[in-house]
Amino acid sequence: MDAKHRVPDTGVGKPPAPNRSVATGSLGVRARQGLCARHLQRRRASEYVTCAGVGRGCLVRASWLPAVFRQARRPRRCWQCGELGWRLRVSSGVPSKCCDSGFGKATAKKLDVLGFTVLATVLDLNSPGALELRACCSPRLKLLQMDLTKPADISRVLEFTKAHTASTGLWGLVNNAGQNILVADAELSPVSTFRSCMEVNFFGTLEMTKGLLPLLRHSSGRIVTVSSPAGDMPFPCLAAYGTSKAAVALLMDTFSCELLPWGVKVSVIQPACFKTEAVKDMDQWEERKRQLLANLPRELLQAYGEDYIEHLNGQFLHCLSQALPDLSPVVDAITDALLAAQPRRRYYPGHGLGLMYFIHYYLPEGLRRRFLQSFFISPYVPRALRPGQPGLTSARDVAQDPGPKPGPSPTAQ
């Protein structure tokens, strides 16, 4: 690593200098020689928010109030903590998909290659993804079963982590929890859908982060959380998912301010739509649509119409079919947030996000709304709003013919 990228080790939370051991309390680490330079060389343009149509070299920092266009950036100092000391928790105990699939699995593989001891949580220890991790990764990677909706699972994993990091310390936590049960108008979505998304995306992340904060404060480590642009923008038909992601992003911003005196750095990843296993599983979306139609109250079904819901679901599946197949931009962003001397507060991996955020923050409200509606809103209007159709069913009619009672709300499998 050349001199201009070297980081001195003169304080708590500073990266260790290469080629020598450092002890901070009970934490010991040896930096791996040469990884900083290699890590800097592999920086990709996708780590920026590229403003489409303006030019390849023109970059946008969309999270700032004024649009900042940059042609180049100053190289940031980067370091790699080594094989022998630090441990990393990749936490994504999602009821549907976790470290045995998607971003979690790819990140666990990458961190294992870099020499970390990785504690990865999976929903099923015998799932294909978990078996793949066990087969292709080194013995440093340890798989733990966890369901974020079960407090007993979370407590067990926290105790295991504390016991196995007592001598080495815990450097980072990666919160990869994400669940989207249903795509529908907020009025059509059962309240239980909102509760389920909050339980996994927000409360599960909160409980894991709070449980590991003593270890992370001691090491002045990192917290990396995968959120979503749906938490920044009011995407129609993603109300339950978007509100939970908005809550977790604000929580991480609060942690970032509160943990600054401790030297803990907090980053949020806001990826575009990538083709993870959950996105590719079209059958689950069809099944959830069928459950929604079967359990929808008669009044709402008459007002919106089954064809409206069918067309909305088809348009959503079409958007998913165009998801980005290469997960490496997200994995690179997570790795950078863990290893960079000065990680960003926000990462936006994936094409097209720059234009999306530019439109949302800087164009008039009418254009912003039409842009967001173009994603999932069906060109069909609800049945009650179509010309020649009767208005909404009155409460009196519903009382006379209540129809089938709504059954249990759809839940993630």
Q: Just list the catalytic residues.
A: 241
List the alpha helices (DSSP H) in 114-260: 128-136, 151-164, 191-197, 205-219, 239-258
What strand order describes the sheet that includes 59-60? 49-50, 59-60, 69-70
From the list 14, 21, 78, the residue with the least C-alpha distance to 221 is 14
CB 92 within 8 A of CB 121: yes
Cα(406)–Cα(404) distance, integer angstroms: 6
**What values do phi and psi take at 117, rounded to 5?**
-85, 115
- Return all residues near 17 (Cβ < 8 A) that are at least 6 apart: 6, 7, 8, 9, 31
- Return all residues near 19 (Cβ < 8 A) that are at least 6 apart: 31, 33
- Return all residues near 11 (Cβ < 8 A) that are at least 6 apart: 263
Cα(156)–Cα(236) distance, integer angstroms: 38
Cα(308)–Cα(371) distance, integer angstroms: 20
Cα(89)–Cα(44) distance, integer angstroms: 25
Provide the β-strand partners of residue 88: 118, 172
Question: What does the block give as tokens for 126?
Answer: 């015998």
